[in-house]
Amino acid sequence: MPFSKLGLSPKALEGVKAAGYTEPTPIQLRAIPVVLRGADVIGSAQTGTGKTAAFVLPVLTRLETHKPFARCLVLTPTRELAAQVETAVRDYGRFTNLTATVIFGGVGYNRQTEDLRRGCDIIVATPGRLLDHMQQGNARLDRVEILILDEADRMLDMGFLPDVRRIIEKCPRQRQTMLFSATIPPEIEGLCKWALRNPETIEIGARRSPAATVTHALYPVADAQKYELLCELLKRTNFDQVLLFARTRHGADRIHQRLQREGHSVAVLHSDRTQQEREHSLNGFRNGRFEIMVATDIASRGLDVEGISHVINYDVPQHPEDYVHRIGRTGRAQAVGDAFTLMVAEDVEHVQAIERFIGQKIARMKLDNFPYLYTRAFEAVVPIRGKLVRAGSTVSTSGFGRRRRR
């Protein structure tokens, strides 16, 4: 079904056309009519499915024309995601006269205060800074008609739920509420019961499985050889851009420095960096100036950078669901991506938890002609290509070529 049959306003349709989209994605097909009807929604979709447009387009249609007060509020867990959603609102809404502003911490208050006082139709915000503005009397939410909680499970992980609840309490009871979350743990279920009314659940694809467009594999290695193996993987891989995840901020800085010393154009993104540094990294990575970005899980949710051909987990993620989110940063919107995860002996249990979570075994790979030291990480018996083999005996790495179809 084409976009034009979904009930979107002509101006929203022009925005879709200008974005170059020809057909709605499955979540857009399902969600747009429901949102247009004004129903509450619980949405879970795999990353890179077009979720943002699925809620932004009908919101633009419903709001119709500019009024000088906030009528739609979108809450997101990270500053980067807030900025990305606001950009999408501006892009899709460029033919409307609706106004949007983005509110997050780490930057000055002046521009935000001016925008809020002037009154924008759509506010996209992270919870902490928005609460500050509310306490200072800059932001009023008493005319909000549409509330969107994006990446709700991540907001829970980051400890934002009490702030989120405080914000919701200031919104009118009579409103449309949408909640997007990859998983629905009990706390989010509680939030849904409290904040949503007769929601429709829209679930696209298996909630727990990695995107079908991403091939992923584990690389067991001794701890002492981890960095060496990373360099070898980078050398043998024909990548466009690599997003590399480290467990800690300190670890991310260390890898960043080492890769920089070796002549890679590399950026780093984590929450200890100033907002200016974070923007410098992300913008440079987006426009292709950096070939590698080293990040913590702050970058694992929702970030949409077109050029990411490979995700490398330098450290195995602590939470199984973060594995799915991290590797979902590649293979977005039908492109194909690869994800490599380095695995040391201490990671064996975490990897098993990930495999239980995604309901599949992940192939173990070894690099040809790499001077491997022995590690317990080689010991696990895993099925590869249908038969059970010892991970250590599988030697398969030819062709790391880019497998991208656009």
Which helix H or strand E contains 313, and what residues bound it?
Answer: strand 308-313
CB of 28 to ligand AMP, least distance (A): 6
Which residues make Cβ contacts (< 8 Å) with residue 173, sequence separation at least 6?
none
Helices then strands, counting H and E runs in the chain, come out as 14, 16
Q: What share of the chain is helix, strand, coil (3-state, %, to 5)?
A: 40, 20, 40
Q: Which is nearer to ligand AMP, 24 or 220 (CB)?
A: 24
Contacts of 246-253 with CB under 8 Å at 24 or more apart are 246/294, 246/295, 246/296, 246/314, 246/315, 247/296, 247/314, 247/315, 247/317, 247/318, 248/296, 249/296, 251/314, 251/315, 252/294, 252/295, 252/296
**Rounded least distance, CB 18 to ligand AMP, Å:** 12
Catalog residues that contact ligand AMP under the rule CB under 6 A: 21, 23-25, 28, 48-53, 304, 332-333
Cβ contacts of 158 within 8 Å, gap of 6 or more: 77
d(CA 228, CA 231): 5
Per the CB < 8 A criterion, the answer to whether 243 and 330 are in contact is: yes
Distance CA 214, CA 339 (A): 7
Cα end-to-end distance, the chain, whole Å: 21
Q: How far is the CB of 371 from ligand AMP (least distance, A)?
A: 40
Our CB check for ligand AMP shows the closer of 1 and 388 to be 1
Q: Cβ(18)–Cβ(3) under 8 Å?
A: no
Hey, is 231 helix, strand or coil? helix
What are the beta bridge partners of residue 253? none
Min CB(51)–ligand AMP separation in Å: 4
**Is the CB of 57 or the CB of 380 nearer to ligand AMP?**
57
Please, which residue, 171 or 293, has the CB nearer to ligand AMP?
293
* Least distance CB 359 / ligand AMP (angstroms): 22
Closer residue to ligand AMP (CB): 25 or 213: 25
**Cβ at position 90, least distance to ligand AMP in Å:** 13
Structure tokens that stand for 361 in this block: 């075994």
Shortest separation between residue 89's beta carbon and ligand AMP, angstroms = 12
CB of 81 to ligand AMP, least distance (A): 9
Distance CA 328, CA 312 (A): 11
Between 15 and 50, name the residue whose CB sits nearer to ligand AMP.
50
Q: Which residues pair with 381 in a beta bridge?
A: 390
Task: Rank residues 28 and 281 by Cβ distance to ligand AMP and give the closer one.
Answer: 28
Nearest to ligand AMP of 88, 234 (CB atom): 88
Give the residue with the Cβ less far from ligand AMP, 28 or 99. Answer: 28
The tokens for 385 are 């290509």
Shortest distance in whole angstroms from residue 49 CB to ligand AMP = 5
